[in-house]
Amino acid sequence: MRTMKLFVLLAAFVAVISAEAADKKILLIAGRPSHGPGDHEFRAGSLLLKKCLDQVPGIKAEVHEMGWPKDDTAFEGAAAILIYADGGGGHPAIKPERMEFINALAKKGVGIGCAHYGVEVPVGDPGKALQAWIGGHYEHAFSVNPMWSPEFKSFPNHPVANGVKPFSVLDEWYFNMRFREGMQGVTPILVAKPSDAVRGGPYVFPKGPYAHIVEAKGRDEVMMWTATRPDGGRGFGFTGGHKHVNWGNDNFRKVVLNALLWIAKAEVPKEGVASTLTAEDLKANLDPKGKK
């Protein structure tokens, strides 16, 4: 009897240790081919993020292409999900059954991130869902999408900002998000002040300008944020990611890698996630969109 009890205790101990040692799974959902060569390279960008995450101890990254995994079993064991895809009415997560599915994962504490066009959804239930999951979303004719080079000069005391240095890259940086009321649970990460010229347009689409954007001149704007949820989960929104070449910028890449670890509830290194990419890496896995 004593031997049996010892065996049971040992088995339980091993199970606990195994669970603690298990890699955290981060699921990267890459959208369908979109836009011209070098833009909206969701698959290639997701594979670059996976390449970097594969170097982080305790992290297992998987990329699923064409907008949604072929089978829902892909989500089993996921600690975090990133949706890097076209948004709007074609956002891969806004079909009612998929929103219900993601809501169930969120209630279990699964982290959720959205990048670039993936932060835009229609108003109504999809907008409410993204506010709940990641703290805010791009709203058509309220938010804007100019092509510009924000100067990110300072960062909050937050794990997602670990090791991130001042940087600036030309991208389609969205701003004026529709955040939760009172920014509840939301922490701005990348903040910059658009010039009057940027506010005055043209925006990528529609060209604008919008009076409410122009009238807010001099105001800082948020291009990346994190959010905490009452269910214990975490989320983030990142509005950059239009130009594939920008993944070659160490700080642009680091802040997203940090965010992926953070929403997975993995420890973010004090100096952030270290990674290197070559020019050849940036040319790999591009969608067949014709000549540049």
Show me where the domains of the chain are located: 24-283
User: Residue 292's pLDDT is what?
Assistant: 47
Beta strands in the chain (DSSP E): 24-30, 59-64, 78-84, 111-115, 136-137, 147-148, 171-172, 178-179, 186-192, 221-228, 234-238
CA distance 220 to 232: 29
Reported as a pLDDT band with limits 50, 70 and 90, residue 289 is confident
Q: For position 93, what pLDDT does the model report?
A: 97
53 — pLDDT class (breaks 50, 70, 90): very high
> What is the reported pTM?
0.91
Structure tokens at 187: 């922490």
Mean pLDDT throughout 182-196?
Answer: 98
Q: What is the mean pLDDT of the chain?
A: 93
Per-residue pLDDT tens digits for 88-130: 999 999 999 999 999 999 999 999 999 999 999 999 999 999 9
Contact 275, 254 (CB under 8 A): yes
C-alpha closest to that of 130 among 110, 103, 104, 108: 103
Task: Classify domain 24-283 at the CATH superfamily level.
Answer: Class I glutamine amidotransferase (GATase) domain (3.40.50.880)
* Contact assessment for residue 90 and residue 44, using Cβ atoms and an 8 Å cutoff: no
pLDDT of 5 higher than 90 = no
- Mean pLDDT for the stretch of residues 8-12: 42
